[in-house]
């Protein structure tokens, strides 16, 4: 009843189930997890037996201040206690308001806007300019004047008042039903609505920082403090400067291979603009994607001139190098700056030029096979799934040969932020960039500024001295170039890279052989970080043995020391979102999927009164279905009992959406919803994997895993004997 009415649940007592014994606790855990109940007691409550049988469950852990066991010998059970906040819900303060800005589209007529752009900004006006910065500044000034006339910038104060009396529960449900239905294909807006329906203590109206014991909440001051922190991340690492040329291990000779940025065409501009997402946030230039797309045929000639002048002169426009940062809370203490990550928003027009350069450069890299085959990040037809498949196949091959695997999970601290521009430009030159193109990339990287937005206030600008531009299109590609020579430093180990996530796999017939190999290559990776002014994080870099338990029942731990630090030893690891354990079993991975889907089902159950049938279906595909699919070709060979647990969740989801009891067979429900059961879903994903690998440009190493029947001859044939 309390769950159906979305009320807080606190359940406690002697439940005759030992929390410390996972086997006996499993049934109770499955039951309580359906209602998102968290168990709070982990100490022994019955000293005689050494068991924890007196338990406290709550559905609102954030409301609990303290819980525990009292050492008072009143009986053979120790008393348990819980302390709860008196009023944990953040109430909406009367009179609190925020200021928002938007372009009024009520009277906007696209054709009139286009006509004014053509008539008032003649192309002949711009023939006098030979610098892309001057040309862009002049055009921008004219464009904004016309835009302000057709779609004025409106600022308004939004007040958070109480809901009016007539806005009852029934009208609220109707309101949210319509809202969810209208936005079910817009994930960002969808999550905003869901957070509105289910408000939590995570909702705050402003950010307060604690600096040296002093609390600061003024938006501009807070923004300046964030900007100081975000722009000086490289200064926080003790990395010696390089005065000598870099010692880069290039995979190919680039003397005869040269890349220059081709000029852009009108068709390129129109096609790239058509791909722009109208929902993208607006940059500091204040030009929304909507007005770029609606006027692109009118402004394309001048944008073409700006872009080509930029390419020919090797100058990236300064206006397009200014970023707006929004701090997003991650976890732990809200008053600490390091618990926030920045979301960087760049001018949308800059994406047209960036995309053109990126497309051309990626084509060059692909045609000349410059990128390491070990790298799977930010590359077409490569994915987390392809990386994990290759990793698992390599591990299994070693196990079948009777070897012990050692896997090192390398953590590079703030890798994207620490990229040294001088080193990156040297690598670009060594990989075949022509002087004029190199000048353009240097201009693209240098003299970048950022401001931090808190509420409606902007901080003072700060210069970015290192790193690849966050929120950009070229940034990830430039990072791949920077890290491309890392695999060439590695000796006997097999490296796997997904952007900055680096994994080394060594093997040996015994622990000594394994330790020597793994330590040698981890030392080589450390040498690469020193050569490239990166920082190897000893606290987050980990090692794990993966082996056959039947062949090696009692293996001692291995100890690896890098930079005078012992690398942490683990028995399971989350790699690219999938949990691997030391015996390549999938219990933990499927348990993780189970818990995520279980919590999403609980969410759907709570908001079902706000959902239409169609929005219910869409939310299933948005919130649950992706977790059933993600890397299912990797963990899909798990024990049938484990997969059956996920099938049960699918059945629960179907009954929830169709409002059916357990008396109706699940096969009937699946047919009504046109759903594929998880077992068949995994088979389908494997078939698609084989098809895509053999028929498209998927990683060559992945293609090697498949052998056509016609190429397989278990019995020697006459033809084979003759060859």
| pLDDT recorded at residue 657 | 95
Q: How far apart are CA 378 and CA 480, in angstroms?
A: 8
Q: How far apart are CA 524 and CA 518, in angstroms?
A: 10
Place of tokens 């053109």: 356
Q: How far apart are CA 605 and CA 18, in angstroms?
A: 29
**Residue ranges in 559-699 assigned as alpha helix (H):** 587-607, 613-623, 625-629, 632-635, 640-658, 666-673, 678-695
Tokens standing for residue 254: 């680039």
Do 274 and 293 meet the contact criterion of CB atoms below 8 Å apart? yes
Q: How far apart are CA 170 and CA 294, in angstroms?
A: 39
Do 346 and 320 meet the contact criterion of CB atoms below 8 Å apart? yes
Which residues, at least 6 apart from 277, have a Cβ–Cβ distance to it below 8 Å? 289
Phi, psi of 255 (to 5 degrees): -60, -35
pLDDT in tens, 161-219: 444 444 555 666 677 777 777 776 676 677 677 766 665 544 444 799 999 999 999 99
Do 487 and 510 meet the contact criterion of CB atoms below 8 Å apart? no
- Cα dihedral sign for 583, 587, 588, 593? positive
Give the CA angle between residues 207, 418, 373 to the nearest 5°.
120
Tokens standing for residue 164: 């009016």
Q: How far apart are CA 662 and CA 668, in angstroms?
A: 11
pLDDT in tens, 95-132: 445 667 788 888 899 999 999 999 998 888 788 899 99
Give the CA angle between residues 261, 265, 267 to the nearest 5°.
135
Tokens standing for residue 160: 């958070």
| pLDDT recorded at residue 32 | 78
| pLDDT recorded at residue 539 | 86
Strand partners, 579: 574
What is the gyration radius of the CA atoms in the chain, in angstroms? 30
| pLDDT recorded at residue 94 | 42
Its pTM stands at 0.83
Do 446 and 430 meet the contact criterion of CB atoms below 8 Å apart? no
Tokens standing for residue 112: 């009139």
In our burial notation (b when 16+ CB lie closer than 10 A, e otherwise), range 181-191 reads eebbeeeeebe
| pLDDT recorded at residue 607 | 83
Do 597 and 352 meet the contact criterion of CB atoms below 8 Å apart? no
| pLDDT recorded at residue 244 | 46
Do 495 and 503 meet the contact criterion of CB atoms below 8 Å apart? yes
| pLDDT recorded at residue 142 | 95
Q: Low-confidence residues of the chain, pLDDT below 70?
A: 1-7, 34, 73-74, 85-99, 157-173, 184-185, 187-188, 191, 195-205, 236-255, 709-723
Element (H or E) spanning 369, and its range?
none
Q: What is the DSSP letter of 434?
A: -
Kindly give the interhelix angle for 296-313 and 132-150, rounded to the nearest 10 degrees: 160
Do 190 and 183 meet the contact criterion of CB atoms below 8 Å apart? yes
DSSP string, 659-702: T--TTS-HHHHHHHHT---HHHHHHHHHHHHHHHHHHS---HHH
Do 584 and 637 meet the contact criterion of CB atoms below 8 Å apart? no
Which residues, at least 6 apart from 148, have a Cβ–Cβ distance to it below 8 Å? none
Q: Residue 690: how many CB atoms within 10 A of its CB? A: 13
Element (H or E) spanning 542, and its range?
strand 542-546
């Amino acid at each position: 009843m309390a769950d159906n009415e979305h009320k807080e649940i606190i359940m406690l007592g002697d439940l005759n189930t030992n929390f410390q014994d996972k086997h006996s606790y499993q049934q109770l855990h499955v039951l309580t997890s359906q209602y998102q109940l968290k168990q709070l007691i982990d100490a022994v409550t019955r000293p005689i037996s050494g068991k924890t049988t007196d338990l406290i469950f709550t559905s609102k852990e954030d409301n609990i201040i303290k819980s525990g066991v009292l050492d008072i010998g009143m009986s053979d059970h120790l008393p348990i206690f819980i302390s709860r906040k008196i009023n944990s819900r953040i109430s909406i303060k009367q009179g609190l308001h925020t200021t928002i800005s938007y372009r009024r589209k009520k009277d906007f007529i696209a054709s009139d806007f286009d006509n004014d752009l053509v008539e008032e900004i003649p192309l002949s006006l711009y023939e006098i300019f030979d610098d892309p910065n001057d040309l862009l500044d002049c055009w921008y000034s004219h464009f904004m004047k016309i835009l302000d006339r057709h779609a004025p910038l409106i600022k308004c104060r939004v007040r958070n008042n109480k809901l009016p009396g007539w806005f009852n529960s029934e009208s609220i449900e109707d309101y949210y039903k319509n809202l969810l239905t209208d936005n079910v294909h817009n994930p960002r807006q969808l999550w905003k609505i869901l957070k509105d329906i289910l408000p939590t203590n995570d909702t705050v109206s402003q950010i307060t920082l604690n600096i040296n014991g002093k609390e600061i909440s003024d938006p501009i001051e807070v923004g300046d403090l964030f900007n100081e922190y975000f722009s000086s991340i490289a200064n926080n690492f003790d990395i010696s400067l390089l005065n000598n040329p870099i010692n880069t291990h290039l995979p190919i000779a680039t003397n005869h291979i040269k890349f220059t940025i081709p000029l852009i065409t009108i068709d390129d501009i129109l096609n790239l603009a058509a791909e722009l997402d109208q929902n993208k946030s607006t940059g500091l230039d204040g030009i929304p994607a909507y007005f770029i797309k609606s006027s692109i045929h009118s402004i394309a000639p001048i944008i073409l001139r700006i872009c080509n002048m930029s390419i020919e002169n090797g100058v990236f426009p300064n206006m397009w190098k200014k970023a707006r940062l929004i701090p997003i809370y991650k976890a732990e203490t809200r008053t600490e700056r390091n618990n926030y990550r920045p979301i960087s928003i760049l001018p949308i027009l800059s994406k047209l030029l960036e995309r053109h350069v990126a497309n051309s450069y990626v084509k060059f890299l692909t045609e000349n096979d410059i990128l390491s085959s070990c790298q799977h990040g930010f590359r077409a037809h490569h994915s987390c799934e392809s990386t994990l498949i290759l990793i698992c196949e390599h591990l299994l091959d070693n196990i079948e040969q009777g070897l012990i695997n050692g896997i090192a999970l390398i953590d590079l601290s703030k890798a994207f932020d620490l990229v040294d521009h001088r080193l990156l430009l040297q690598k670009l030159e060594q990989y075949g960039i022509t002087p004029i193109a190199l000048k353009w990339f240097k201009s693209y990287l240098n003299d970048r500024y950022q401001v931090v937005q808190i509420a409606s206030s902007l901080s003072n600008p700060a210069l970015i001295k290192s790193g690849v531009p966050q929120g950009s299109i070229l940034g990830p590609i430039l990072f791949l170039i920077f890290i491309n020579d890392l695999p060439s430093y590695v000796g006997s180990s097999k490296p796997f890279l997904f952007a900055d996530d680096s994994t080394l796999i060594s093997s040996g017939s015994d622990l000594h052989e394994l330790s020597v190999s793994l330590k040698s290559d981890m030392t080589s990776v450390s040498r690469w970080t020193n050569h490239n002014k990166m920082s190897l994080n000893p606290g987050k870099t980990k090692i794990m043995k993966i082996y056959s338990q039947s062949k090696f029942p009692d293996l001692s731990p291995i100890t690896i020391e890098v930079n005078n630090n012992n690398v942490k030893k683990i028995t399971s690891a989350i790699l690219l979102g999938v949990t691997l354990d030391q015996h390549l079993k999938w219990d933990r991975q499927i348990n993780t999927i189970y818990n995520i889907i279980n919590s999403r089902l609980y969410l759907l159950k709570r908001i079902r009164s706000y959902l239409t049938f169609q929005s219910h279906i869409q939310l299933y595909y948005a919130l649950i279905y992706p977790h059933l699919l993600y890397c299912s070709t990797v963990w899909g060979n798990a024990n049938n009992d484990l997969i059956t647990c996920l099938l049960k969740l699918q059945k629960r989801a179907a009954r929830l959406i169709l409002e059916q009891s357990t008396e109706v067979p699940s096969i009937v429900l699946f047919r009504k919803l046109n759903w594929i059961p998880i077992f068949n879903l995994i088979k389908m994903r494997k078939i698609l994997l084989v098809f895509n690998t053999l028929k498209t440009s998927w990683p060559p190493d992945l293609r090697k895993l498949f052998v056509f029947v016609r190429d397989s001859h278990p019995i020697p044939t006459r033809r084979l004997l003759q060859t």
